[in-house]
Amino acid sequence: MICPRCKAAMIELKRTFHKQRKWVCPDCGRIRFQKVRPPVPRRPTR
Ligand SMILES: [Zn+2]
């Protein structure tokens, strides 16, 4: 994840927020959220 403002590598926080990964730019402090991929859906049982 790269900061769209200063193009700096963002740091991922361990804590998730609403099932979204939180990224913080060490340079400008901008916070960005990345949606976590939902779990792989199981095959439909029939
Ligand atoms: Zn930044």
CA of 42 to the centre of ligand 1 (A): 38
The model's pLDDT over 11-38, given as tens digits with 9 standing for 90+, comes to 999 887 788 999 999 999 999 998 877 7
Beta bridge partners of 31: 24
Contact 36/7 with Cβ under 8 angstroms?
Answer: no
CA of 38 to the centre of ligand 1 (A): 27
Please identify every residue whose CB atom is under 5 Å from ligand 1, which is an ion. 3, 5-6, 8, 25, 27-28, 30
pLDDT for 16 equals: 79
Whole-model pTM over 0.85: no
Residue 9 clears pLDDT 80, i.e. is over it: yes
